[in-house]
Amino acid sequence: SAVISQKPSRDICQRGTSLTIQCQVDSQVTMMFWYRQQPGQSLTLIATANQGSEATYESGFVIDKFPISRPNLTFSTLTVSNMSPEDSSIYLCSVGEYEQFFGPGTRLTVL
Q: Which residues bind another protein (CB under 8 A)?
A: 1, 4, 31, 33, 35, 41-45, 48, 56, 58, 92, 94, 97-105, 107
Nearer CB in complex with another protein: 81/100: 100
Minimum CB separation of residue 37 from another protein in Å reads 9
In order of 46, 49, 81, 89, 92, the CA distances from 39 in angstroms are: 16, 24, 19, 6, 13
Nearer CB in complex with another protein: 76/94: 94
Nearer CB in complex with another protein: 3/84: 3
Q: What share of the chain is helix, strand, coil (3-state, %, to 5)?
A: 5, 50, 45
In degrees and rounded to multiples of 5, residue 86 shows phi and psi of: -65, -15
